[in-house]
A and B are shown apart, each in its own frame.
Chain A
Amino acid sequence: MITESDIEHIAELADIGISKDEVPEFTTQFNAILDYFEVLDTVEGESAPDAGIVNVFRDDEPRPCLSQEKTLENAGSTENGFIKAPRVM
């Protein structure tokens, strides 16, 4: 069982704001979905890495990319060619 305080904790981990009014409904829905997921307890088999699969790499060579101007075009808040974000500390 997931409790209302679990829901608030998960929302915080995910950086999803949640209002007090929403918590009971989210909790009920979460529990209904997790009940459905219980069927996974009956899955048989071991996890094993896929055989014959290789990573796709390329050489680290400089290539043309979007200009600084283009890159900043959609940013809501910029300063001197940088993107502004909320303060961390």
Chain B
Amino acid sequence: MAGTLEFSPDDRYNAFITTCRQAPFSDGALAGTAVAVKDNISTKGIQTTCASKILEGYVPPYDAYVVELLRQAGAAIVGKTNMDEFGMGTTTETSAFGPTQNPADPSRVPGGSSGGSAAAVAAGLVPMALGTDTGGSIRCPAAFCGIVGLKPTYGRVSRYGLIAYANSLEQIGPMAQTVEDVSKLMSVIARYDPRDSTMIDRPYDHRPSAEIKGLRVGIPEEYFGEGVDPRVAESVRDAVGILEGLGAETVPVSIPGMRHALAAYYVICTSEASSNLARFDGVRYGPAVDTRKSWHEAYQDLRQELFGAEVRRRIMLGTFALSAGYAGKYYAKAQIARRNIREDFERAFCDADVIAGPTMPTTAFRLGERSDPISMYLSDILTAPANLAGIPAISVPCSTVDGLPVGLQIMGRQFEDERVVDAAFAYEQEVRA
């Protein structure tokens, strides 16, 4: 049934940066399915900007491996979705193309950084989308918009063709209305690729099963404590009660390293960003640098003009955290904290098969509400630990507070993406029945 999909959505929430009116597709498991792709994933022949002016007009000459796999599976790539500039944000407000609105309440942010992908799915413009998750960027918007999003185990999905922000943390992952569709998209994109040297050859071939009898669900106290809206905590506890009703048992676990998680995360991601984003100099791609000026003057002028404030702030923070005299205080300590957190999870996973908690400490913020960096950073507290530990984590809608969606987050052992999918599926089937 190969053909062309006509796509002209009513994009009232500003979910897309680029749409493809005529999207070709071929035969395969996703034949003719409209799939939206976050705009930091390279698409051959389709503009890819990372929501930054510094890549305006950039048309990649090649596909990311996940996009190649989507095309092979018959998907129609219908557009590139809005995001925080280079993935740096929790609201999609740092986009150079304007904020995306949350379809559940247009006065609210969709979350970020994959806010465009989440809004496109939540608004019903596409059944599936790809996002990327460095510190929660798939799970946060999934929770805020009331859809499902999976951050796969680090090393399970190829990052070839993903425009890098923080390589040691980020993964591409599926977003959709249902766990079944998330699982289906995951089975298309989780294929070994030697071009990403951090990959391990563990393809995902799984059909979700709702059988969770005897599953041990760890409940970390740190995920229900200070900073978490009590109403959000309560609705997540109710959701855990439903898992118990299905035969799961709960066990208390603890992740004491959580107190260092956010600081470690921000030191590591900004350090990696300061190196990765050095390549944006207007020489090989993006609006051209003025070659008549001297080297440093030309780059400084271009990068001041074309990077947004949050991107410049993070590049500078990372530059500082890695600079002589400070690297030991910040970067080296952050790496030790990261190891401690990973070991905390390993210990917890001796007693529990999965760990459950809220995805986000609150429901979606109002547009413009989180204008100072620290208050925005704090909202990543429950999602960033899974990136530091490299473990899989899914967000599935569990209820609403004041009409706004709440996400139940389920984390699992490394390479047990199937198990977190099953737990989310069991919950979803029970509440939708």
Contacts and interface: CB of A to CB of B under 8 A. Distances in A.
B59 A15 contact: no
B303 to A, nearest CB: 5
B320 A10 contact: yes
B295 A37 contact: no
A33 B260 contact: no
Given A15-B299, A40-B263, A83 B317 contact: no
Nearest to A46: B336
B186 interface: no
A80 interface: no
Contacts of B264: 40, 43
Contacts of B330: 37, 40
Contacts of B334: 40
A9 B97 CA distance: 30
A86 interface: yes
Interface string B332-350: 1111110110000000000
A84 B320 CA distance: 30
B432 interface: no
Interface in A1-41: 2, 7, 10-19, 22, 26, 29-30, 32-33, 36-37, 39-41
B337 A70 contact: no
Contact of A37 (B266, B290, B300): B266
B11 interface: no
Contacts of A45: 336, 339-340
A51 B374 CA distance: 35
Interface residues of B, number: 65
A52 B303 CA distance: 41
A16 B284 contact: no
Contacts, number: 153
Contacts of B292: 86-87
Contacts of A77: 283, 288-289, 291
A56 to B, nearest CB: 4
B316 A40 contact: no
Interface stretch (B84-92, B307-315, B414-422): B307-315
A18 B266 contact: no
Interface string B378-397: 00000000000000000000
Contacts of B1: none
B260 A42 contact: yes
Interface string B276-313: 00100111111111111111111111011101010011
B339 to A, nearest CB: 7
Nearest to B289: A86
Contacts of B309: 22
A76 interface: yes
Given A40-B260, A74-B58, A86-B290, A16 B333 contact: no
Given A29-B372, A76-B286, A77-B291, A16 B197 contact: no
Contacts of B197: 56
Contact of A33 (B299, B300, B304, B317): B317
Contacts of B303: 15-17
B89 to A, nearest CB: 14
Interface of A: 2, 7, 10-19, 22, 26, 29-30, 32-33, 36-37, 39-47, 56, 58, 66, 70-71, 73-77, 83-88
- The 3 A-B residue pairs with the shortest CB-CB distance, nearest first, are A76-B288, A17-B304, A17-B300
